[in-house]
């Protein structure tokens, strides 16, 4: 029979167990918040290309293992991160971490964390902006040290990669303008300081060259500036296109935001393919000359891309 003294003893033991469980839960929650904070700060460090902070999170004996079982030590991992951050073709890096589970390891000084991560690299390849996206699952081992939690080991459980051409904004600083580069289009800088933007879809293509004018032309009227531009461009076009025909230049007209323009259309045949073309003078703070050629037959996508590109040309504020 349960006597009152024995009841008091059992009650005391039960209260102690519950108190210890509550303390352990509070400890687990506190550790989880610390770990979550470190991952959040690491994500920000990727965005800021702060290799020093990422380095500070690693234990001295840090290693990682990829999906194929290859082991990388701390020094090689840091070198890879630093090289990626320093690469001029890598325009942007982002890392997004979602914590799935946080469990205690062999003791209270070791935590096992399962995460999913999405890492995006935006970079230039042959003048084209592309994005590499890595979607991975990882199991990380964190150790408590005198200087806080440190990442000791990271194992890649799964990984898939996708690469896509992406739309981007290009700043033609010499001309003081910017514009949208449609996904899949290339931008090349020419020796004379001009730039060429091109897109292709099947047999159809569009090539747009943009150039600016020297300070010696600033005193000229818009019509005189256009005449100078046309005299530079059209002689070569006449030689290149069979059956060359051109319209008369338009008068100065106003575009959006008060920008003035003059344009002149032309057409002809190149290598048996019918071509359309346009000379365009945009009167920003600095005049911008645009020379465009395209096959008469272009896809709906290229037609849409061209409209997006030309309509997006704006002054750099």
Q: Are 290 and 282 spatial neighbours (Cβ–Cβ below 8 Å)?
A: yes
pLDDT value at residue 279:
95
Query: What whole-number distance in Å separates Cα of residue 279 and Cα of residue 237?
Result: 11
Verdict on whether the full-model pTM lies above 0.75: no
Backbone angles phi, psi at 36, to 5 degrees: -60, -40
Question: DSSP code of 272?
Answer: T
Question: What sign for the dihedral angle of Cα 15, 19, 20, 25?
Answer: positive
pLDDT at 125: 67
What is the distance between the alpha carbons of residues 216 and 176, in angstroms, rounded to a whole number? 17
What class is the 15-165 domain? alpha beta
Q: What are the per-10-residue average pLDDT scores of the chain (317 residues)?
A: 46 40 51 93 94 96 94 95 87 91 92 94 73 91 95 95 78 90 89 93 95 86 93 93 94 80 95 95 90 94 92 88
Q: Is the distance from CB of 128 to CB of 119 less than 8 angstroms?
A: no
> φ, ψ for residue 92 (rounded to 5)?
-155, 140
| Domain regions of the chain by residue span | 15-165, 168-315
Contact 76, 55 (CB under 8 A): no
User: In the prediction, which pLDDT does 25 show?
Assistant: 37
Residue 222 · residue 262 · CB < 8 Å: yes
Tokens for 25?
A: 């839960």
Cβ neighbourhood burial of 300 (10 Å; 0-12, 13-18, 19+): exposed
CB 292 within 8 A of CB 184: no
Spatial distance between the Cα atoms of 274 and 234, rounded to a whole number of angstroms? 17
Distance separating alpha carbons of residues 246 and 235, to the nearest angstrom = 12
CATH for the 168-315 domain, from 3.40.50.300, 3.40.630.10, 3.30.465.10, 3.40.1000.10: 3.40.1000.10
Report whether 170 contacts 178 (CB < 8 A). Answer: yes
Nearest CA among 36, 120, 137 for reference residue 84: 120
Question: Cα(99)–Cα(32) distance, rounded to whole angstroms?
Answer: 9
The dihedrals phi and psi of 281, each to the nearest 5 degrees, come to: -115, 120
Task: Give the whole-angstrom CA distance, residue 287 versus residue 296.
Answer: 28
pLDDT score recorded for residue 92 = 85
Q: Tokens 């890492």 map to which residue? A: 119
What is the structure's pLDDT at 183?
84
């Amino acid at each position: 029979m349960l006597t009152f003294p024995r009841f008091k003893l059992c009650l005391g033991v039960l209260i102690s167990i519950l108190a210890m469980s509550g303390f352990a839960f509070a400890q687990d929650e506190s550790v989880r918040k610390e770990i979550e904070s470190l991952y959040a700060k690491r994500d920000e460090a990727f965005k800021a290309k702060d290799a020093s902070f990422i380095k500070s999170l690693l234990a001295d004996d840090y290693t990682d293992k990829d999906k194929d079982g290859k082991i990388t030590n701390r020094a090689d991992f840091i070198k890879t991160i630093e090289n990626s951050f320093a690469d001029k073709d890598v325009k942007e890096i982002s890392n997004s971490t979602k914590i799935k589970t946080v469990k205690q390891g062999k003791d209270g000084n070791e935590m096992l964390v399962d995460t999913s991560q999405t890492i995006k690299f935006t970079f230039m390849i042959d003048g084209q902006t592309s994005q590499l996206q890595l979607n991975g699952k990882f199991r990380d081992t964190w150790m408590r040290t005198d200087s806080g939690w440190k990442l000791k080991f990271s194992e890649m459980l799964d990984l898939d990669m996708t690469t896509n051409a992406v739309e981007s904004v290009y700043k033609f600083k010499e001309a003081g303008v910017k514009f949208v580069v449609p996904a899949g289009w290339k931008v090349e800088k020419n020796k004379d300081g001009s730039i060429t933007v091109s897109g292709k879809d099947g047999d159809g293509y569009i090539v747009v060259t943009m150039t600016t004018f020297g300070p010696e032309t600033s005193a000229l009227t818009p019509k005189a500036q256009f005449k100078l531009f046309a005299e530079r461009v059209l002689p070569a076009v006449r030689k290149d296109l069979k059956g060359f025909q051109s319209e008369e230049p338009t008068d100065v007209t106003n575009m959006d935001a008060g920008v003035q323009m003059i344009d002149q259309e032309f057409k002809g045949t190149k290598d048996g393919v019918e071509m359309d073309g346009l000379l365009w003078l945009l009167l920003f703070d600095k005049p911008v000359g645009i020379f465009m050629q395209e096959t008469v037959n272009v896809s709906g996508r290229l037609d849409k891309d061209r409209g997006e590109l030309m309509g997006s040309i704006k002054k750099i504020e």
